[in-house]
Structure 1
Amino acid sequence: MTEDRVVVVTGGASGIGLGITQLFARKGHPVAMLDVQEDALEREGAALRAQGANILARKVDVSKREEIEAAYAVIRNQLGKIAIVVANAGISEGIPFQDVSVEIWQRMVDINLTGVFHTVQASLPDMLEAKWGRIITISSHAAQSGAADRAHYSAAKGGVIGLTRALAREFAAHGITVNTIPPSVVATPMADQGIAAGTFPPLDVISQHIPIPRPGTPEDIAAACEYLASDGASYVTGQVLAVNGGMFIG
């Protein structure tokens, strides 16, 4: 994979997104790390720059198109045209379906699905001009198997899978591939928050139900992103690459 291709990672300052940011940065890519967490952006951006990485860290709410477009203008000016996008930013929360308000539903969709729409659509002019691009969305196994108390989350992530497949068909002839990775149980700060809140079981408990009996890591997801972004994956598009230890096989 050419090392000077500009990579955008949303939700890139923690958890899965940080693992993806770190891997592409280590491989020599200029990486734009977009996130809503200012402290994490500053801390992780500084750590990567200290290692010699070319990192642009910017606070962005992916549900707001104007913030995505403003960030992309800076990225193009400082790093270059966008070649690889990993639409990872998202939220998750456990709420019984009957308690999901219209506002809670809309927020979930705005961030987890519409945020992917903004992130991807605004990057396409660069890829279409180059006749080369890699778009990777991070969905969820909850979209494949369902999840109790997460109907709104499962629905939004299911939309991400459908969007990914539609875009793969639409842009295949333009040298742009579009694939999704639906993680299952991954050891991240978001998982820790769910465990602390009592809305997610402890990882050692749930790991007993995974054929590969451990939680995934951000590095596991990042490795799959590296493959999908590579020249070697030029004939892979519209696929759901399940990196889940066998928790969901379908």
Structure 2
Amino acid sequence: MSLQSKYNAATSVVDWAKSDAYHNSFLIHKDDDLDFAVKNATAQGLPDIAVSPAQGKWLSLMAQSIGAKRILEVGTLGGYSSIWMGKTLPEDGELITLEINGTHAKVARENFAKAGLAAKCKVVVGPAYESMTGLQPDVPFDLVFIDADKRSYPQYVAEAKRLVRKGGVIIVDNVVRYGLVNDLSVDDIDIVGIREMLAYIKEDKELDATTIATVGERAFDGFLYAIRK
């Protein structure tokens, strides 16, 4: 069988997850804090929708590569992605993460404490857009990671642009959605929210962005990477 034929055959989530696991076995070291965060979130009934280990490591590397000292996260869940990024922060660094669900916020705080990040990672509880509009930081954020309700993505991106420094990075997760965003017959409210976000960015002269599609243990999806010019 040719390499191309093998590639065409590897089209299931099982195949993609096996590929992730193989690469992770070389590139991602065991971390007791992250393992605890996953187990604690599962034990307390949080949905299994956090970023994958490979995506978490990517966020960590991205934060390091831009020397991020101030990070804003929209959508906390159990704090798994927050820990990946929080561990990269310098001593005077800070991560603010926004979460609407009080139970999720409680679990995240427990996970931050276990990871020794309680002083650096702060959870703000409430509707994310309201929390974002209430932020008036003296020093802008270096990195904004958005992973929350997709219907509000246009509003989140607009506020993220206000809050991030020039040259800063905005990452928006889950923007491909199994390839359904480009299927205009699909009118799901979250899919529509992503389309509206793309339309907003197209007309915004201060943002330069691209979408990277991904496959892996989280199936077929992707993220948007933007820089504020």
- Aligning the two structures, in what range does the TM-score lie when normalised by the shorter sequence? 0.5 to 0.7
- Taking the TM superposition and a 5 Å limit, the aligned residue runs for 1:191-206 are none
- Taking the TM superposition and a 5 Å limit, the aligned residue runs for 1:83-232 are 83-90=142-149, 112-113=150-151, 115-127=152-164, 130-138=165-173, 139-141=175-177, 142-145=180-183, 151-167=188-204, 170-172=205-207, 177-180=208-211, 215-216=217-218, 228=225
- CA gap 1:46/1:135 in 2 versus in 1, 3 angstroms: same
Q: For 2:182, what is the secondary structure of its paired residue?
A: helix
Q: Contact conserved, 1:35 with 1:41, CA < 8 A, in 2?
A: yes
Greater share of residues in strand: 2
**Residue of structure 2 aligned with 1:43, choices 102, 107, 121:** 107
Q: Contact conserved, 1:165 with 1:179, CA < 8 A, in 2?
A: no
Q: Contact conserved, 2:94 with 2:121, CA < 8 A, in 1?
A: yes
Unaligned runs of 5+ in 1: 91-111, 184-211, 238-250
**1:30 matched to 2:94:** yes
1:196 maps to: none
Q: CA RMSD in A?
A: 3.4
1:56 maps to: 122
**Residue of structure 1 aligned with 2:140, choices 72, 75, 81:** 81
Identity of paired residues, percent? Answer: 10
| TM superposition score normalised by structure 2 | 0.53
Unaligned runs of 5+ in 2: 1-64
Q: For 1:31, what is the secondary structure of its paired residue?
A: strand
| In structure 2, distance between residues paired with 1:61 and 1:182 | 28
Q: Contact conserved, 1:85 with 1:120, CA < 8 A, in 2?
A: no
| In structure 2, distance between residues paired with 1:166 and 1:7 | 26
Q: For 2:127, what is the secondary structure of its paired residue?
A: coil
Count of aligned positions: 155
| In structure 1, distance between residues paired with 2:147 and 2:94 | 17
Greater share of residues in helix: 1
Q: Contact conserved, 1:5 with 1:83, CA < 8 A, in 2?
A: yes
| TM superposition score normalised by structure 1 | 0.49
Per-residue deviation, 1:143:
0.6
**Residue of structure 1 aligned with 2:82, choices 21, 33, 47:** 21
| In structure 2, distance between residues paired with 1:22 and 1:151 | 31
| In structure 1, distance between residues paired with 2:212 and 2:95 | 20
